[in-house]
């Protein structure tokens, strides 16, 4: 019964490789490194910034390490330290420095991305010139994690349906209690670190990691939500910025409602683009041959049908419009995945649930045996709930519902009148400053990559961020899908590679 906003999605592979690659570390002979960490830090931060890291072979040609960070950067204490897990592939040629990579989420594993598939993280040019490092941010994966439910409980939280009629007082009480129970489970099983997994704390972690590997300046590639981390780093540590690229950029100045509203419109646009292209792209399999309006009406009908009468899958779970919506969104992240939409909508018309649950389970990291590959969903919720203030004004919430329905009349589903139940009942509230535009005053050149057809981090966010950050240069990719670098577009790839390896920036937006 999860009440979730559509996420700044985890960084995902295309349909040709819909496989979760999980691998543990098998430690070999330790390989200590000789680096020169920052010396100009306070005495209370010196144990963190000046710690020595020991890299150990851990398979796939990678090395892994674990370091410590203070739970609370404002009050560091060894009694409450947390751990951060890192994986790296060493530079194959002349090393220019380290390159930290974050795949997004929030909640996605940078460790797994670099350890399991460094070719997907960055191209060969950057592998030649940099130690490519991925890490699990606080709360995520192999770092000190957010832990809430076991697999059966998480199944019920995500896929369980309320017993009472939607919209009734009993229904509202039921879904509210579900949200309260989830937050309390997260607090009980995670502990006080749950309060300190916000993005600002992760930004401080990243600066510490830069020092630990001996780099005076940060080189960083952030995808999707990873651009939040990067933009706040530029804002907080402009004098430590080396070369930073933000791909699938986000606008950190907008509210969580504005995030959801723009994403909702973005997915509606991506859906319409699929419908328009479908008869030509899939002449033998396209389920929509009667034009866009008829297709959208059919999909709206499926949403209404499955909200009114969910259908049981072979494993006993029930497919309602929420499962259909998650599955559709998953396939809209990449044009390479659009073929799954043909199967999804064809099966949904027939009451078949196979593709819907396949895609929804992939989105949530659920394996076919009912276990979850990671804690990405729990981490996502926990980070979002402390990163944004929650709206509670009934009049504002009512207006927001009107705007959401207008943004995507095809897929609109009514939310509880009390707003975001999960974050509204979270054990810790947002305590940060008012959301505002970032300027990165004093930082050197940085690159923003934004895709015109990106549903998850829409193009206007990249444009807005490129105008806010004083040293930003925009690279537009005219195409579909979420993020653009290292996806066979030489215009984008060459601009990013030249920037990282030579420090050059385009004289103007190349409009790739």
> What pLDDT digit, counting tens, does each position of 39-50 carry?
788 999 999 999
Q: Residue written as tokens 């329905």?
A: 405
Which residues, other chains included, contact 124 with Cβ-Cβ below 8 Å and sequence gap of 6+?
none
Q: How many CB atoms lie within 10 A of CB 94?
A: 8
Query: Does residue 140 contact residue 379 with C-beta atoms inside 8 Å?
Result: yes
Q: Quick one: 431 exposed, middle or buried, by C-beta within 10 A (0-12, 13-18, 19+)?
A: exposed
Render pLDDT for 140-183 as a digit per residue (tens, 0 to 9): 999 999 999 999 999 999 999 988 888 888 988 999 999 999 99
482 is catalytic: yes
Q: How confident is the model at residue 414 (pLDDT cuts 50, 70, 90)?
A: confident
Share of the chain above pLDDT 70, in %: 93
Render pLDDT for 99-114 as a digit per residue (tens, 0 to 9): 999 999 899 999 999 9
Q: Is the pLDDT of residue 35 over 90?
A: no
Q: Is the pLDDT of residue 492 over 90?
A: yes
pLDDT value at residue 415: 72
Q: Which of 7, 211, 224, 450 is catalytic?
A: 224
Q: Quick one: 43 exposed, middle or buried, by C-beta within 10 A (0-12, 13-18, 19+)?
A: exposed
Kindly give the interhelix angle for 376-387 and 151-159, rounded to the nearest 10 degrees: 60
Q: Is the pLDDT of residue 85 over 90?
A: yes
- Residue 12: C-alpha distances to residues 223, 279, 470 (Å): 10, 26, 30
Q: Is the pLDDT of residue 337 over 60?
A: yes
Q: Is the pTM of this model over 0.85?
A: yes
Q: Residue written as tokens 């952030």?
A: 222
Q: Is the pLDDT of residue 384 over 60?
A: yes
Render pLDDT for 346-359 as a digit per residue (tens, 0 to 9): 999 999 999 999 99
Render pLDDT for 288-333 as a digit per residue (tens, 0 to 9): 999 999 999 999 999 999 999 999 999 999 999 999 999 999 999 8
Instruction: Tell me whether strands 82-89 and 130-135 are parallel, antiparallel or unpaired.
Output: antiparallel
Q: Is the pLDDT of residue 29 over 60?
A: no
How many Å apart are CA 290 and CA 279, to the nearest integer?
A: 9
CA 109 to chain centre: 9
Q: How confident is the model at residue 218 (pLDDT cuts 50, 70, 90)?
A: very high
Say which DSSP state 145 is in.
B
Q: How confident is the model at residue 7 (pLDDT cuts 50, 70, 90)?
A: very low
Q: Which of 251, 420, 454, 493 is catalytic?
A: 454
Q: Is the pLDDT of residue 370 over 60?
A: yes
How many Å apart are CA 339 and CA 105, to the nearest integer?
A: 24
Q: Which of 89, 115, 204, 482 is catalytic?
A: 482
Ranges of beta strands (E only) in 339-445 are none
Burial 106-134 (b: 16+ CB within 10 A, else e): bbbbbbbbbbbebebbbbebbbbbbbbbb
Round the CA-based radius of gyration of the chain to a whole number and report it.
Answer: 22
Q: How confident is the model at residue 34 (pLDDT cuts 50, 70, 90)?
A: low
The domain locations on the chain are: 256-364
Question: What is 252-317 written as a DSSP string?
Answer: TTS-HHHHHHHHHHHHHHHHHHHHHHHHHH-TTT-S--S-HHHHHHHHHHHHHHHHHS-EE-TTS-
Render pLDDT for 439-483 as a digit per residue (tens, 0 to 9): 999 999 999 999 998 888 999 999 999 999 999 999 999 998 889
């Amino acid at each position: 019964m999860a009440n979730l906003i559509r996420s700044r999605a985890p960084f995902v592979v295309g349909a040709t490789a819909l496989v979760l690659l999980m691998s543990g570390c098998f430690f070999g002979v330790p390989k200590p490194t000789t680096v020169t960490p920052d010396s100009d830090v306070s005495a209370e931060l010196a144990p963190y910034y000046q710690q020595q890291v020991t890299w150990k072979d851990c398979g796939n040609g990678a090395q892994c390490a674990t370091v410590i960070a203070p739970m609370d950067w404002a009050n560091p204490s060894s009694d409450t330290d947390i751990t951060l897990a890192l994986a790296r592939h060493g530079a194959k040629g002349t090393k220019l420095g380290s390159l930290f990579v974050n795949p997004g989420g929030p909640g996605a594993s940078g460790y797994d991305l670099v350890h399991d598939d460094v070719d997907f993280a960055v191209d060969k040019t950057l592998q030649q010139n940099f130690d490519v490092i991925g890490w699990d941010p606080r709360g995520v994966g192999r770092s000190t994690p957010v832990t809430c439910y076991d697999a059966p409980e998480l199944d019920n939280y995500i896929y369980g349906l309320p017993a009472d009629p939607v919209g009734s007082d009993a229904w509202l009480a039921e879904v509210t209690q579900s949200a309260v129970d989830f937050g309390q489970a997260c607090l009980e099983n995670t502990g006080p670190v749950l309060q300190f997994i916000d993005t600002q704390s992760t930004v401080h972690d990243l600066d510490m990691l830069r020092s630990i590997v001996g780099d005076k300046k940060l080189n960083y590639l952030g995808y999707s939500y990873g651009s939040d981390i990067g933009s706040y780093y530029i804002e907080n540590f402009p004098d430590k910025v080396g070369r930073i690229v933000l791909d699938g950029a986000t606008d950190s100045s907008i509210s969580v409602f504005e995030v959801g509203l723009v994403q909702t419109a973005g997915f509606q646009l991506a859906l319409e683009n699929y419908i328009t292209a479908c008869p030509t792209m899939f002449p033998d399999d396209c389920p929509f041959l009667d034009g866009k309006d008829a297709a959208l009406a059919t999909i709206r009908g499926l949403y209404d049908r499955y909200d009114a009468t969910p259908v049981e899958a072979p494993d006993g779970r029930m497919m309602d419009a929420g499962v259909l919506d998650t599955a559709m969104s998953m396939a809209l992240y990449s044009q390479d995945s659009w073929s799954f939409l043909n199967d999804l909508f064809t099966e949904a018309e027939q009451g078949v649930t196979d593709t819907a649950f396949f895609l929804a389970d992939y989105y949530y990291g659920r394996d076919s045996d009912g276990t979850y590959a990671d804690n990405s969903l729990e981490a996502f919720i926990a980070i979002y709930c402390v990163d944004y203030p929650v709206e509670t004004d009934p009049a504002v919430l009512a207006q927001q519902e009107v705007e959401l329905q207008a943004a995507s009349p095809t897929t609109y589903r009514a939310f509880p009148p009390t707003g975001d139940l999960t974050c509204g009942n979270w054990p810790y509230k947002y305590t940060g400053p008012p959301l505002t535009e970032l300027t990165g005053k004093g930082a050197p050149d940085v690159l923003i990559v934004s895709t015109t057809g990106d549903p998850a981090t829409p193009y206007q966010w990249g444009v807005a961020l490129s105008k806010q950050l004083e040293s930003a240069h925009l690279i537009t990719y005219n195409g579909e899908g979420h993020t653009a670098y290292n996806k066979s577009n030489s215009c984008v790839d060459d601009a990013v590679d030249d920037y990282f390896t030579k420090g050059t920036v385009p004289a103007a937006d190349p409009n790739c």
